[in-house]
Structure 1
């Protein structure tokens, strides 16, 4: 007898919230819930905060819609995200200099002001989703580059982002769409 492949039992509903909570066993790790799916996550080295500041390493407790997604250029992996992922290469960066006009914006490298490089030697930015923290209503010094991205093995703390294992990120990607709300509590 041949088994028929069944569709996933869970269908994402438009406007559904992805909930992120602090782990009861480790304040620098979290639990991410997407419908019935539950994942372990790394959080910022500064824990969770409602008073996010540039460089504090904290993950903001906030409701942040997903604005965009990106992936490392040249990877053979197929896109499975619910939105089109931009390809990042060696000229892509993100400005984290509060005094610069491009603060908390993508930039082209080389770039003189302080910035983060989006093409990394590690796997962290193989897949990334830009969360609306201090982007649509930007204020200098309130934090930049808050992403949902791939975690390092063992889930060590991030610089303020939310990070899932590569396997869990691949599982979650079909549910990640522009406007999907990530709520950190």
Structure 2
């Protein structure tokens, strides 16, 4: 039976808050919170059992009018990189290996969301993210020596300086719908990983090259739920990390606390840097 854990676990497990059991005075922490980015009102949680697993689940949470976190819809299955997870760049460092180009691992951590993309000339009516229509010229650059590393672009609009690229108009339709995850973006660091998407899967038993993938209907459902005005973030983490956090508060106690702990995630990554909403 699939095991699910509460929302606060994911925040603790990847070091997004200073402590889940001891928090100093609200006045002291409120000064720190002011430095973080906008508080998210939507949260996408991708989890697998262990760091090396590629099959897992996706849960979506949204803050209601009373400030309480609620599950937006039933969890559904996903697959990640064939070799599991590795710590994404700008995340709190631990004992795990960092994400590297070509390692077939999905970055673990907390990330903002970039542009949606798809094969249709225009997005579906329910998609509110900025949208990049995929054509025969659309590619994401994987060459670490390129000035366009980890960017989605149109081949006929720039002077090519790459030898390795991910052409996005595919016969298998993996990129018919999806979105760009803001990992190693903007100001991409060479070799830290590129072209990390949420997209359609080959199947529930097929891992990816580092992206997070799901069924076509679930990909569309997720895209139509995401509201950029609610500052959505993605957390990707292994459930096995719960072993290090034996005492975890409930979702309600987190949502109702006078200090919004989620915003403290900004201290462990470059969350105040502008995100690449266009994927370019």
Corresponding residue to 1:154 among 189, 200, 204: 204
Corresponding residue to 1:45 among 76, 82, 86: 82
Q: With structure 1 as the length reference, what TM-score do the two structures score?
A: 0.84
Aligned counterpart, 1:181: 233
Aligned counterpart, 1:168: 218
The alpha carbon displacement at 1:169 in A equals: 1.2
Corresponding residue to 2:114 among 50, 62, 67: 67
Aligned counterpart, 2:149: 103
Number of residue pairs matched by the alignment = 171
Matched, 1:89 2:135: yes
Whose strand proportion is higher, 1 or 2? Answer: 1
Deviations 1:41-73 (CA, angstroms, capped at 9, x unpaired): 011011011110000010010111111111113
Other structure's SS at 1:80 match: coil
Q: Distance in 2 between matches of 1:54 and 1:70?
A: 22
Q: With structure 2 as the length reference, what TM-score do the two structures score?
A: 0.57
Corresponding residue to 1:115 among 138, 159, 165: 165
Contact kept, 8 Å, 1:92 with 1:118, in 2: the verdict is yes
Matched, 1:128 2:174: no
Q: Distance in 1 between matches of 2:40 and 2:109?
A: 20
Contact kept, 8 Å, 1:23 with 1:31, in 2: the verdict is no
Aligned counterpart, 1:54: 101
The alpha carbon displacement at 1:165 in A equals: 0.5
Other structure's SS at 1:153 match: coil
Aligned counterpart, 2:59: 33
Q: Distance in 1 between matches of 2:115 and 2:205?
A: 24
Other structure's SS at 1:116 match: strand
Change (3 A) 1:59 1:180: same
The alpha carbon displacement at 1:89 in A equals: 0.4
The alpha carbon displacement at 1:74 in A equals: 5.3
Stretches of structure 2 that go unaligned for 5 or more consecutive residues are: 1-38, 62-70, 88-97, 238-280
Aligned counterpart, 1:140: 190
Give 4+ residue runs of structure 1 displaced > 6 Å after superposition.
none
Contact kept, 8 Å, 2:77 with 2:204, in 1: the verdict is no
Whose helix proportion is higher, 1 or 2? Answer: 2
Change (3 A) 1:103 1:31: same
Aligned counterpart, 2:242: none
Deviations 1:138-182 (CA, angstroms, capped at 9, x unpaired): 201000000111111234101000011001112222222444211
Stretches of structure 1 that go unaligned for 5 or more consecutive residues are: 1-12
